[in-house]
Amino acid sequence: MNENDTKVEQFGPCTFPNPAGYDYWTEDNSVVLFQTIFSGPDDAKKTIETSPVFFEQAGPKEKIYFRPEEVTAGIVTCGGLCPGINDVIRALVMELHYRYKVPRILGFPFGYEGLVKKFGHRPIELTPDKVAHIMNFGGSILGSSRGNQKIEEMVDTLFLYGVKMLFCIGGDGTLRGAQAIQEEVKKRKEDIAIVGIPKTIDNDINYVQKTFGFSTAFSKAVEAVNCAHEEAKGAPNGIGLVKLMGRHSGFIAVNSALASKNVNFVLIPELDFDLEGEGAFLPVLKDRVQRRGHAVVIIAEGAGQKYFEDKGEKDRSGNKKLADVGVYIKDKITEYFQKEGVALNLKYIDPSYIIRSVPANAEDSVFCGFLAQNAVHAAFAGRTGCVVGIWNNVFTVMPISLAIAERKVLRPERSTLWRALLASTGQPNSMKAKV
């Protein structure tokens, strides 16, 4: 990555005074250093002097690009549900209305479908009164959908309603759609700011330290994990098996295990494992159960997909359809223990849709507010085709292209998080069968 990769597109010079009335402003050239760990002081100095990479710091600017009184703002929520979506919508509306004095804010229902005329979804005018208490509810008051829509038709709708800035709340697929919208707007030589707010409980957006909803999701998952532990220890040779979300990354699974402190095995997409053979998962699990009388296992939904035939099927968002590894592992554990002549009491819990549809917890709610406010600041500063996020505990703005270049995954070979997980669970570094 180089400095050009992090450069955010801007319409032009900001000439209008910011009406937000803050006591201090974020400087126009304020940046956040990408790299924070170096091999030594000399390496740090050399890197900063010769090839530094920075993100733009998010925040309100003293001068802005758009005249607020001429702005119609749009909000759209796409993809799967996630704790905190309503918090983001509320914070966007409050910042746009009270600080920037935007006269009209439209919510487009049911994701990108709401931007396509043939679906017949009428935009909802959002006011402070309408959104004042929505943070108390899970889901999205605007609804959501998956699937690709025609970019030209979506941009036509933005033109029809005179939208000057569109806030796209969603994950990887949503951000790809937002980038396509931005490119079509640019082709038509119009100034419509397209700003993404990354939403995924999997926490797998590239170069974003944390996505909203993640804290709530794994906090809620801990309830299921602790229930699995009670079930496991309450019966002879008890096993509690919990399947959690995580198509490509094991962040929810690992953080849930660390928070619970009652988990003995965590299986994630980033780390291969075998089922049978010396050192493989099932023999190691059996040994644990026979020694300690019970065990708790967490498996992320994307783990162990090598055990299924890849049929090439995809969902409406273009994601590969995953086989149900939770049920598969449950059956394999049962079969193996029967074959080994070991009695077993296994309880299987899948709380997937419960953990994503609850209201945000206090930490996520605060975080959602920061993201939304900084998205508004970025749009008014004339930034477009960008994503707001956080890096090294500082809020940032970066190009959508960088955020979707690849998925963020946990790297067990050099992850302090995984190292902490191994210390907490006591599971082997590897559960590949020894040849």
| 42 in active site | no
Catalogue the E-assigned strands of 191-312: 193-198, 238-244, 265-267, 294-300
CB contact set of 4 (below 8 Å; sequence gap of 6+): none
Q: Is residue 79 a contact partner of residue 174, using CB atoms and an 8 Å limit?
A: yes
53, 144, 207, 416 from 7: Cα distances, Å: 10, 30, 14, 30
Sheet containing 394-399: order of strands: 31-33, 54-57, 394-399, 386-391, 193-198, 163-170, 72-77, 104-108, 124-125
Output the DSSP codes for 370-388. HHHHHHHHHHHTTEESEEE
Q: Which residues are annotated as a binding site?
A: 80, 146-147, 171-174, 200-202, 245-247, 301, 353-356
Residues tagged in the binding site annotation for Mg(2+): 172
Tokens standing for residue 313: 């099927």
Q: Which of 202, 204, 274, 364 is catalytic?
A: 202
For the annotated binding site for substrate, the residues are: 200-202, 245-247, 301, 353-356
d(CA 372, CA 370): 6
E strand residue ranges, 278-410: 294-300, 345-349, 383-384, 386-391, 394-399
Give CA–CA dist 301/248, Å, rounded: 8
**Contact yes or no for 299/278 (Cβ under 8 A):** no
Distance CA 240, CA 427 (A): 16
CA distances from 336 to 80, 122, 339 (A): 35, 55, 5
* Dihedral angle computed from the Cα positions of residues 274, 275, 280 and 285, in that order, rounded to the nearest 10 degrees: 140
CA-nearest of 92, 94, 62 to 77 is 92
Angle between the 172-187 and 151-160 helix axes, to the nearest 10 degrees?
A: 70
> Which active-site residues does the annotation give?
202
